Amino acid sequence: GTPVDRCDLRGPSLFLLGSEGQGLPDSALEEANERIAIPMRHGINSLNVAVTAALLLYEARRQRS
């Protein structure tokens, strides 16, 4: 996906977040306009969904300020 800091989150946005293990169903991924990635250090494989949501909302707020 596109790194979160390179995404334009200034307009209306809907974030679809899946579970760590299963993620989102293919049908949801097919409807998405963009996939967003959160860059992480080597050795860290995933973030829990609450942390991911917080980071996405923070970045959207930062871009809109």
Tell me what percent of the residues of the chain surpass a pLDDT of 90: 77
In this prediction, what percent of the chain has a pLDDT beyond 70?
Answer: 100
How far are the Cα atoms of 8, 46, 47 from residue 12, in angstroms, in the given order?
10, 26, 24
- With 80 as the cut, is the pLDDT of residue 20 above it? no
Phi, psi angle pair for 19, to nearest 5°: -70, 160
Q: What is the pTM of this model?
A: 0.85
Query: Is the pLDDT reported for residue 53 higher than 80?
Result: yes
19 falls in which pLDDT band (50, 70, 90)? confident
**Quick one: pLDDT at residue 23?**
87
